[in-house]
Structure 1
């Protein structure tokens, strides 16, 4: 009778410890997920900024090419 109670108590303690460990794991996983989400957001923002920069560079290139062509035509005349 006494042995059974001790075994039952040990099982209860083990279960409680398992629950605590599970909760801690979930908290840590939640933190990891938040960090990953932030990193993904930053990557997306960086990609958008890179696209904008590429567009601006293209515009500047075309403007420069046009001005150079105009200058060449003026000198040719």
Structure 2
């Protein structure tokens, strides 16, 4: 059905449909954070929750240092 015949039949319904589509489109661009600090805090907490900032290096370094100290003590005794 051509667009002209739809406009001639019920222009108010077409206008309401267009307004609803515009509101829906604007809602897609809305930001849920009011400041950059809120966004960064949420981003960091989400990354921490997903385990991105966890690392095994501190534990491995501690074990390595402990083994070196134990080896040094055993060599000197």
Under a length normalisation based on structure 2, what TM-score does the superposition of the two structures give? Answer: 0.51
Greater percentage in helix: 1
Residue 28 of structure 2: which of 13, 18, 42 is its match?
18
Which structure 1 residue ranges, 5 or more long, are not aligned? 65-77
Which structure 2 residue ranges, 5 or more long, are not aligned? 1-10, 33-38
Which of these two proteins has the greater Rg computed from alpha carbons? 1
> Displacement, 1:37?
4.0
Summarize deviations over 1:10-65 as a string: whole Å, max 9, x none: 11222222233xx55xx44x2222x234323xx3222222211111111112222x
What is the count of residue pairs matched by the alignment? 56
Counterpart for residue 39 of structure 1: 54
| Larger relative contact order, structure 1 or 2 (CA cutoff 8 Å, min sep 6) | 2
Q: RMSD across aligned C-alpha pairs, in angstroms?
A: 2.3
- Aligned to 1:15, the other structure's residue is in SS state helix
Under a length normalisation based on structure 1, what TM-score does the superposition of the two structures give? Answer: 0.51
